[in-house]
Amino acid sequence: MPVLYLAGSLAGIAMLVGLNFLLFGRVRPEVGTVDSITQRLMRDIPGFRPGRTIIGADRRVAVIENAATRTLVLVEAIGDSLVTRQLTQGFLANVGRLGARLSLELRDFTYPRAVLVAPSERVARDWEARLKP
């Protein structure tokens, strides 16, 4: 394979990523509002009904209850997209808390950890109890 072709391809990649940045900037990841999260989850989970919700202080991570099944769903903004995971038994490996900061360890190769900062320590403690596997 010609070295020139490979070098040209790498230069092309750098140029395109740079152009992408110039035209669209760098997106600040945000999960949005309860309504927009619900819209998204209704798409991913037929019959989804929103229950209690917590959105992190940095608005990157949220946990929302599916009132239809009494299960919890984790939502994280990555780039301009959302990644969702149903927190089924066995998927959530551990939940840690340090003050108002909740740390969720997941059994997922591409999404091993989510951090959610609750509005207060009391709220974090409440959600920790709900999340504990």
Name the amino acid, one letter, at 23.
L
| Range in contact with other proteins (rule: CB under 8 A) among 52-60, 93-101, 102-110, 116-124 | 102-110
**Should residue 3 be labelled a site residue for other proteins when binding is judged by CB under 8 A?**
no
**Should residue 120 be labelled a site residue for other proteins when binding is judged by CB under 8 A?**
no
**Should residue 109 be labelled a site residue for other proteins when binding is judged by CB under 8 A?**
yes
List, in order, residues 6 or more apart from 90 with CB less than 8 Å away.
107, 133
Give the bridge partners for 95, in sequence order. Answer: 104
Output the six-digit token pair for 83.
């990644």
**Should residue 21 be labelled a site residue for other proteins when binding is judged by CB under 8 A?**
yes
Q: 3-class DSSP state for residue 100?
A: coil
Name the nearest CA neighbour of 82 among 119, 109, 44, 49.
Answer: 44
Which one of residues 108, 121, 126, 128 is an interface residue with other proteins (CB under 8 A)?
108
Binding footprint of other proteins on the chain (CB under 8 A): 1, 5-6, 8-10, 12-13, 15-17, 19-21, 23-27, 43, 46-47, 76, 78-85, 108-111
